[in-house]
Amino acid sequence: MDATQTGPVIGVVCCQKSLDAYAIQSVNEFYLNAVKQFGANPVLLPGGSTEAELKQLLSLVDGVLLTGSHSNVAPYRYGATHEEAKKDEGRDALSFALIDFCIRQEVPILGICRGFQEMNVALGGSLHPKVHEVEGFQDHRESPLNDMALKYAPAHPVNISDNGTFAQWLAPLDNIQVNSLHGQGVNQLAPCLTVEAVAPDGLVEAFSLQAHPFFIGVQWHPEWQADKNHFSRILFDQFMISASDRRSLKDGNRVNW
């Protein structure tokens, strides 16, 4: 991107956490770094915003990034009844509102890990609460080691679907290596989504909404050293191209926000 040009603005979802009795809005800096590395400007979207506040914030953004998190989507949102200790219902409410907004307004949106799961649930899919306990699936959870290079190292390949967007981006490659840091995963895929990549055990690891300008979710973590990974560079480049196109439409006063 030309340094004299203003990059697109990417709204990044926040998680709500507690730290020493303080209420915290948090985002892992890996995501912010990736957004900036690819020429965009991140703006944080806090949970607990009123509809009017969120509407004003969203009028500023050209794309939305749904990040990963150590919390999980509340089970009731996909018809499950199990107990979930790691909930963040403020994050749920924010993310589901963002997904609805991005679909209605055709705003580019990228979901990573929890964000990927939120997209699936928001469109009518469901999740396995503990993939490693489901017969036939591998253990996809992250390493307990604190060495980030090991934690985010490639863990397994994913096979690229023939009929998707990734196949167009990656041809002639038909598989790539990805990291793996998730305990939950897709059970039933939302009917409107197209599978983009599948793990060797059959778990859906990426999807797209083909009728949308850019609606893509990945189960792995491409934000880790994104500028050094072949697929991550393609993914973030395409996300920013779509967001830049959206910005051009806004600047041309052709979008009704």
Q: Which residues are catalytic?
A: 113, 221, 223
Q: Could you tell me which of 69, 59, 63, 64 has the C-alpha nearest to residue 92?
A: 69
| Cis before 172? omega within 30 | yes
Please count the other Cβ atoms lying within 10 Å of the Cβ belonging to residue 230: 11
Cβ–Cβ under 8 Å, residues 200 and 207: no
Task: Name the DSSP class of 255.
Answer: -
Kindly tell me the burial class for residue 135, based on how many C-beta atoms sit within 10 Å of its own C-beta (0-12, 13-18, 19 or more).
exposed
Cβ–Cβ under 8 Å, residues 198 and 205: yes
Kindly tell me the burial class for residue 68, based on how many C-beta atoms sit within 10 Å of its own C-beta (0-12, 13-18, 19 or more).
buried
**Main-chain phi, psi angles of 169, to 5 degrees:** -70, -35
- Dist. CA 231–CA 99, nearest whole Å: 24
- Dist. CA 187–CA 129, nearest whole Å: 9
Cβ–Cβ under 8 Å, residues 43 and 12: yes
